[in-house]
Amino acid sequence: MNKIDIIKRLFFDYTKKHINKIILSVFFALLVAGSTSAIAYLLDPAIKKIFIEKDQALIIIIPIFIIAAFAIKGFSLYIAKSLMIGVSEEVRKDLQCDMLNNLVEADTKLIDGKHTGKFISNITNDVNHITNLISTAVLNIFKDSLTLIGLLIVMFFQNWKLSLVAIIMIPLATFAARTLGKRIGKVATEQMLRAGILNTYLIELFKNHKLIKIFQQEKYEKIRAEKFINDVKEKSIKIATVYVRASPIMETLTGIMIAVLIFYSGKLVLKNEIDINNFFSFLAAMMLAYQPVRSLATLNITISQGLSAAKRILPVIDEKSELVQNKDSSEIKVDTGNIEFKNVSFKYEKEKEIRTLNSVSLKMLGGKMTSIVGHSGAGKSTILNLIPRFYDTISGDIQIDNQSIYKCTIQSLRKNISLVSQDTTLFDDTIRNNIAYANLHASQKEIEEAAKYSFASEFIEKLPNKYETIIGENGTRLSGGEKQRLSIARAMLKKSQIILLDEATSSLDAETENKIQDAINFLTKDRTTIVIAHRLSTILNSDKIYVIDSGRVVDEGNHEQLLANSKVYKNFYEKQIKKI
């Protein structure tokens, strides 16, 4: 995406809707330009009529005009900036909402493929640069251009010869700033990348704070933190340094211009080609022109940063889901809940040759429990992830009650599925809201009932604020068993026909496991349940067991059949016996 395409996209998608406010801001920018020019021009009659001709009649009128010009300039600038700040903040909101909406809808693959810290950097730092582009750059283009034009008119009105000498500064300043702008664009991109890396590190730091303490790596993390912060600091210094390089260049150019003008105007005064009042009015106009010339000369730096940030953000907004839903997709009707995999193959990276699943065929009976066992990396979790279409197969079909999940709407499919994982995910919110996440319209009675049958009410009722207790980031104030019970309560509240269990009892003590197992038994009663089995108790209770090895189904049957006929299963079972 080139710069022109980015500018068009930002205009048509985000700023065009605010065009009325932008035009109004331009109107007030015109008043700023006019009043600034008037200030410079009024010095001519002020010096001539008051100081030279000593006209008593104008000694009050001219100062009043000067006050009025400054007041108009101040209020107009305030209104123009306020309008553009409002527009830029609206654009910020729209960009952040579009980005977050797309990330919420995005494939699991996209979220897994990029660290959270980099997304946060996009949403915060990059969006800031785009809002600066709109609030500062767009306004300054109009305000400073119009002001410069007005001041040039005053300068030429006073003396065209001096004006021709003075305007030499404009192309010189522009050339210097363009050179600096190219440099800062590159450094700004590097700084944003470093900021993204720092965000990534900070998230890891807070998430793993207990790990840091138990392994006594505080010193190591302090060194790492200083390195990441220092990297951002170095890039920020470079950006700031490039910015301030404009100051000595512009100051030197201005000094040279003033010196040349004083010398040349002195010659003109001696020849009576210019009056002293004309010279001071001209000099005031030229000095006032210094700010818009500098602003316009360095404007490409802000523009470059904004466009660079947009180049990183827009692809995230434009990221399309690989999960294709046909327009004629119908709502799935789940009755019995029979699930069938027909020669399903899958791989996470399309470019890679290795497949995670190879021609897998499974039949999971409705209302029954089916277990999937196998060594780590065999493909068990992948099978679970394919059922709610977190990912799509590369070949084969998955059917629920003889309906292909690829011919039904994703929403209706997931409406009939609940997931309980050993890696429980909770929000930093109240217990009530965490349970109600499965059904935001659930009554308090329904929530309490779900908590009761998941045995979560046992610990909830002991808490001072009960269901209104804030549980901390990912439930940090709860034990592992308590978090699991909330997760099960949430699944119960959904009341779906299909339950996916990534063995929720694998890391719990015996007493807690028994309670959660009872909760799971209630959750899964008469429902189609697919379990990634780690515990012996789950395996023995299963109606059917599939043994997965290297992405293939190597054996299937019940516990007794597999124990007699499957070496892989027998090995797996014996390892489970040894753990007891």
Region 54-80: mean pLDDT is 87
Region 362-374: mean pLDDT is 88
The predicted structure's pLDDT at residue 505: 56
Region 230-246: mean pLDDT is 76
Query: What does the mean pLDDT of the chain come to?
Result: 82
Report the alpha-carbon distance of residue 285 to residue 199 in Å, rounded.
47
Domain(s) labelled CATH 3.40.50.300 in the chain stretch across 326-416+498-505+527-580, 422-495
463 versus 179: the higher-pLDDT residue is 463
The predicted structure's pLDDT at residue 76: 93
HSE of 512, CA atoms in CB hemisphere, 13 A = 15
Candidates 139, 163, 138; CA nearest to 151 is 163
Report the alpha-carbon distance of residue 554 to residue 524 in Å, rounded.
26
Cα radius of gyration (the chain): 35
Please report the beta strands in 520-572, taking only residues with DSSP state E, as ranges in sequence order. 528-532, 544-549, 552-557
The string of pLDDT tens digits covering residues 431-441 is: 899 888 888 88
CB neighbour list of residue 530: distance below 8 Å, 6 or more residues apart: 339, 364, 369, 370, 371, 372, 383, 384, 387, 498, 499, 500, 501
CATH number of the 3-318 domain = 1.20.1560.10
- The residue type of 310 is A
DSSP state of 324: -
pLDDT band at 423 (very low <50, low <70, confident <90, very high): confident
The predicted structure's pLDDT at residue 259: 82
Whether the per-residue pLDDT at 62 is higher than 90: the answer is no
Indicate the Cα dihedral angle 319, 321, 324, 327, nearest 10°. -70
Residue with tokens 């054996």, as numbered in its chain: 555
| % of the chain residues with pLDDT over 90 | 8
Domain(s) labelled CATH 1.20.1560.10 in the chain stretch across 3-318
From 2-6, 476-480, 572-576, the region with the lowest mean pLDDT: 572-576
Whether the per-residue pLDDT at 507 is higher than 70: the answer is no
Region 16-33: mean pLDDT is 91
The predicted structure's pLDDT at residue 511: 65
The predicted structure's pLDDT at residue 74: 93
Whether the per-residue pLDDT at 506 is higher than 60: the answer is no
Query: 422-495, superfamily in CATH?
Result: P-loop containing nucleotide triphosphate hydrolases (3.40.50.300)
CATH number of the 326-416+498-505+527-580 domain = 3.40.50.300
The predicted structure's pLDDT at residue 339: 92
Whether the per-residue pLDDT at 228 is higher than 80: the answer is yes
The predicted structure's pLDDT at residue 32: 92
Whether the per-residue pLDDT at 115 is higher than 80: the answer is no
Report the alpha-carbon distance of residue 300 to residue 47 in Å, rounded.
39
Report the alpha-carbon distance of residue 151 to residue 299 in Å, rounded.
19
The predicted structure's pLDDT at residue 186: 66
Indicate the Cα dihedral angle 327, 333, 338, 341, nearest 10°. 0
The string of pLDDT tens digits covering residues 547-568 is: 888 888 888 888 888 888 888 8
The predicted structure's pLDDT at residue 152: 86
Report the alpha-carbon distance of residue 25 to residue 23 in Å, rounded.
5
46 versus 171: the higher-pLDDT residue is 46
Whether the per-residue pLDDT at 182 is higher than 70: the answer is no
The predicted structure's pLDDT at residue 177: 61
Report the alpha-carbon distance of residue 367 to residue 499 in Å, rounded.
10
